[in-house]
Structure 1
Amino acid sequence: MQKTAIFIFSFFILVTLSMADVKYVSTTTVEMEGAVGSMMKFFGAGKPIKSVDYYKGDLKRSDTFDRKENLETSQIIDLESELFVTVDHKEREYSQMTFNEWKKRLEESLKQLGEEEYGATDTTAAEPEAKVDWELKFDVEETGEKEKIAGKNTEKVVLTIDLDAEVTSTEEQPGQEPESAKGGMIVTSTHWLYKGDNAAKKEMDDFNMRLAEKLGFVPGSASAQQMMAKIIEQNSRLGEAIETMQEEGAKLEGISMRVETLYETKVDPETARKIEEEKAREDEKEDTEIPTSVGGLLGGFGKKMMKKHMEKKDEGVKERSTLMRSTTEVLELDVSALGNELFNVPNDYKLEKSEE
């Protein structure tokens, strides 16, 4: 369910919020909280990771580097050939996916989401069956604050994505109310937007619009309306969330020269109280496991989110806890001629056959 939703959301975010020949250089820093974050820092995490995007006509290349700034992977999008190419420079191999194959995968993902919403997936006997209700809210605030980044005048805009979820057991216990748990996640993303009209922005906007046309996602087009109708038919909540995201995303017009994102988990006071009470009854176990009656409702990811609130025993269950932070900042935004060879896969790289 999570991988499927991420696959669908990733494209809509790309089209809604994305960014003469253009070179676009940025760095991203990710910081995890708690014990996991401390361990990651010990192994070198938390340092800026560099990425470079190149635009040239019908071509786009995105490079990612490791922490030593060695080229690691590249993704090439070819609008004329209607092809996604993913290059692994360390393994010296590459894979390909046509736009039609991508569309087919999206349709399969939508079908899977629909089956999951209507209970067509298998359930595990070890965990109680549960009904999940969730609500996704978006908000965009233009603060009026300004800052110059990489020579560009930017304006601060804050995007908030707020997910509330309630999990209720469908197993009936005589004389008892159904077991339930409430929690969720908040993502606060601060964008410093460059709204100036220049050649780099025009080139990137033009490429992303043509990519959206090729994939059938231009807002208002017949294919986009057909796809949205299919999404709503398969999963009404996801469809409504995407429509809201597109409406709010229109307010993020411009190039994000810096993006600071905070990821937080939350649990409502009543659920926190239930966990505290059950934890007290099971205190002799000397661990931070989530009580069975609540944990069984949540599934794998939900359990990890709840456990985050219970890591420090002396603090009890937190109603809101930081999961991670990330910062992406543009170092260079340049218009200059790029050679066609930049968008070719090296001749000695091996084509990785796709799994049927």
Structure 2
Amino acid sequence: MRAWVQTGFGGPEVRRLTEVAAPSPASDEVVVRVLAFALNRLDVLQRHEPVVPGMSVPHVAGMDFAGQVVSSGDPGLDGLVGSVVLVDPVVSCGECEYCLAETPTYCSAFQTIGSTRDGGMAELVSVPARNCTVVDVAAHDSARLAELAAVPVAGATAWRGLLGAGKLVAGETVVIPGAGSGLGAAGVQIALAHGATVITLVSGEQKKERALASGAHHVIDRTARPDWVAEVMTITGGRGADLVWDHVGGRFLGQALRATRPGGRVVLSGTTDGLDTQLHLPDLYQPGRSILGHGSYSRADMASAVAAFADGTFEIVIDSVWPFEQLAEAEARLESNDFFGKIVVLGPSFSTTTLDLSEHAA
């Protein structure tokens, strides 16, 4: 089979399309023919260096993907053969206290498909059967499959951050940074679907227009309005937001505290802008604000996000869809930051004319 194999660390040249042996499933696994996979920032970060403990080369990346089950490692799993599935990238033992509590990322045997085991940038990938959610999508429906492949990491993370840890309810005001990122775009859609007033942050007039078109109530262009906290206060009449979802970290966390109302809360879900921060502690304890760790998203969070997407509760924002052979170009778009929403690559079984890719070919 063909796969995009990473053989070192560096630029796009370390990932090459090559022939490799097809996977052989273990007794609890199935082999999935990849129909579409979505790019994540981690795919690029770990191409440059092994940012996740346990990741090594040669390696096939790709955390988010949808595909069709073509074989199984045990006759008891043959019922899945032929099904179109969405794959949860979190692999664990399935038996410890954390797995039984549906928080598998705390499991001592925790692995990630596409990071510490081979992922979806290939024709075929072997995954645990319990990680597969059967979906009612035809294997030839490339447009729907592209959307579906973009759900897992962004959808489950946003679901957990906003609704699980954040306890967001209808009528509240939430601030979501990075509406142009796949994660931020998913968060905006989930918050809107649950009746929140959404204030989102972007960089640039074009992304501001896209964010407004996606349904956000208020969009702050940080290039034109760098003091976004003051803008939030103006929008909320001096009250502040009920919730700020901080999926970027760094110095943003201290700003997020100041943007919340007394008694409000900040959920920290990521650190793409830095691992360390500095807080003005009176901003935290005097107004009774809270900082909440995102925690592990659960299988229930993943299932809820997938079900909500399937029934139309929220939409996934797609930036562009690329053919399998143009993975390097798709990754270059991700690295440029000149995108809005998720970047998706179709599996090799689709021809390059399956979707209109002309606007993304430059």
Give the TM-score normalised by the residue count of structure 1.
0.23
Comparing both chains, which one has the higher relative contact order based on Cα–Cα distances under 8 Å and sequence gaps of 6 or more?
Answer: 1
Q: Which structure: greater strand fraction? A: 1
Q: Which structure: greater helix fraction? A: 1
Larger radius of gyration: 1
Give the TM-score normalised by the residue count of structure 2.
0.23
